[in-house]
Amino acid sequence: MFSLFKKRGITFLSFSNTISQLGDRLTHMVIITLISIISPGRIAAFSEFSVAFTLPIIVLAPFAGVIIDHYNKQTIMLRCHLVQALLIFLTPTFVIMTRSILPIWILVVLFFSLDLFNNTSRNALVPDLVGSDELVQANSLIITLARIATFIGMVGGGYLVRVVGWQIGFYIDASTHFIAGILVLGMGARIIFEPIRKFEFSLSGELKKSFNRFLSDLKELGTLLIKDRIVVFVMLSVFILPFVAAVSYTVLIYLVQQEFGMGTTGVGWLGGIIGVGMLVGGLLMGFLGKGVNRGKMIILGMAILAVFFLIGPFFVNIFFLYIISIIAGMVFSIIGISQDTILQEDVLKEIRGRIFATKEFVINVTFVLCAILIGIISNNMKPYAIIFGIGIFLSAVTGLALLLYFSIPADTRIKL
């Protein structure tokens, strides 16, 4: 895996993503702190934040894939990072001027909308930077470095916000995204990342033609999602990660921050430990490479998560939660790397952007719906009952994934 550092394109992409992830974690830590100050004791407050940063992605995801497939991906990533840096830099000023938290919610909507284009472009161009036999290692490298940033951002971010305050935290965050944008330029010459078919946007006569092409591309995507069982299997597994993440972002953060009395620093350690687990999982997949059946790894990971949620209510304390966080982090990396690699191998280049945008769509629809649902039922159910119910549901989804996996022809299934 680390031999890929000899390749300039994937090296700069990995470092850019690492710095970007560091900034994202800092953003979350600042906002989580504000939520605890403004709405103490409300699990639903975290659900509202979840809706704010996922709903824009749900709306934009169907369009983002088409745009990315027909536009220079390096340019998209550069512009997204620079605009994100500017938004974050200006936000503290507007919060102080308006004496309101409204600028924070505006930032969240715009920032994560841009993140959709950035993340989708990154996943879609990995096969352009490495050979097909290096995709697992490349995805593992990206995940591994990103999880190092997750640990630093979550653990360090918790202490940083406490020491320097949320305003300075935003300025530091803005600098990370500016640096991430500059690093994108190091991936190679712009022409390398030009699309196969250029999509020319027009505000006059060409608008109708562009819209018809857009509808045609969406139809092509829909056909693939219906007929390709491998893609359907991956998309079902994609559903699991944001589902678990929504529970973590609402119930578990509430438990650690307020019921266990550990505050934002405790949340930072929780996120950091999950990041360590994801780092270990990324390294493991990088060393295993193509020698592992990724479909079976996905199902095994889903089963492990289901078991953790089933037994969790009987053992939940901060020590047990941190142990489970390491293992769950490993599972998240293994499933995520397996998903991306299968899609990169199975999907043609000209539709790759749409597939990864669809993946982002599934992730964010799942996250926001689960966050809303948990916010509603938290008024009538205790956190431990919610966790156990999630375990039962995950078990059923894992069984469905297993049936779908074995419905894939054997000669194809063995190559996953």
- Reported as half-sphere exposure (CB side, CA atoms, 13 A), residue 95 has a value of 17
In this prediction, residue 122 carries a pLDDT of 87
* Domain assignment present for 217: no
* Domain assignment present for 297: yes
**Which amino acid is present at 29?**
M
* 118-154 per-position pLDDT tens digit: 888 888 888 888 887 788 888 888 888 887 887 888 7
Nearest to 215 by CA among 32, 362, 354: 354
As a whole number, mean pLDDT of residues 331-359 equals 77
* Domain assignment present for 204: no
Task: State how many domains the chain has.
Answer: 1
Q: Are 335 and 139 in contact (CB under 8 A)?
A: no
* Domain assignment present for 119: yes
Range in 92-101, 205-214, 356-365 the model is least confident about: 205-214
In this prediction, residue 295 carries a pLDDT of 83
Q: Is the pLDDT of residue 266 over 80?
A: no
Instruction: Identify the band that residue 177 occupies on the pLDDT scale cut at 50, 70 and 90.
Output: very high
Q: Tell me, what CATH number does 119's domain have?
A: 1.20.1250.20
Widest distance between CA atoms in the chain: 64
Instruction: Identify the band that residue 16 occupies on the pLDDT scale cut at 50, 70 and 90.
Output: very high
* Domain assignment present for 242: yes
Q: Are 48 and 375 in contact (CB under 8 A)?
A: yes
* Domain assignment present for 16: yes
Count the Cβ atoms, other than its own, within 10 Å of residue 202: 11
Print the domain residue range for 148: 2-199+224-408
Distance CA 402, CA 408 (A): 10
* 49-83 per-position pLDDT tens digit: 667 777 777 777 767 777 787 788 889 999 999 99
In this prediction, residue 85 carries a pLDDT of 93
In DSSP notation, 138-181 reads HHHHHHHHHHHHHHIIIIIHHHHHHHHHHHHHHHHHHHHHHHHH
In this prediction, residue 132 carries a pLDDT of 78
Share of the chain above pLDDT 90, in %: 8
Distance CA 20, CA 84 (A): 10
| Residue-level length of the chain | 416
* 187-221 per-position pLDDT tens digit: 887 777 777 665 554 444 444 555 566 566 656 66
* Domain assignment present for 208: no
Distance CA 361, CA 354 (A): 10
- Reported as half-sphere exposure (CB side, CA atoms, 13 A), residue 354 has a value of 24
* Domain assignment present for 416: no
